[in-house]
Amino acid sequence: MEDVDNRFFEEYKWLNKICSEIFSCNNGVSEYISEMEKENSFFKYKLSTWDIDYKELKHLRRIRNKIAHDVTGVQFSKEEDIESVKKFYERIINGDDPLTQIRKAEEAARKNLSHTKKYDDNEPKNEKITNTNYLDNKVKQTNISYHENKLSRRDWFHVIIISFCIIIGIIIVSFYIVELFF
């Protein structure tokens, strides 16, 4: 194992240890990634670094696995990878990692709603509902409307096929018009 790989492995151990302590498990980074995959919060879409962090953690875990199972002695990690592990560790310590940011945003939203009285549109105006239920309903409504407005790959495929057919139709009609007049 190369010196860079040794340093990477040691830094990764610290990151894995803190994640293991957070989730009370042995494979902390894998569990962190799993929790990111499970996350379905409205706030996830507001977090600009979510996808970057997710891909970076998977990349770092892949490097760790290559080093751990290597028998050739080839160097897999780079100095940038070591810095990425250190930075993510520091972000967890400082409470600036993606999952903590989401929890803080959810907590702030709940706290904000607890200071104001809200009513649910589906219930009579004279019946108050709890702020937690109100927030959960609003988040669910937002998630539903987000997913309803988003086209799936299949929908995009249909749009492209229909557009292609319209363009072909216009070209064919243009040729017939040209033949009629010339």
pLDDT tens digits along 27-83: 999 999 999 999 877 778 888 889 999 999 999 999 999 999 988 888 999 999 999
Distance in angstroms (rounded) separating the CA atoms of residues 25 and 135: 31
Lowest mean pLDDT among 29-43, 50-64, 105-119, 125-139: 125-139
CA–CA distances in Å: residue 21 to residues 6, 25, 29, 138: 23, 7, 11, 32
Tokens 């040729």 belong to which residue? 175
Q: What angle do CA 134, 126, 142 make, to 5 degrees?
A: 25
Question: Whole-model pTM?
Answer: 0.61
| Helix and strand totals (H; E) in the chain | 7, 0
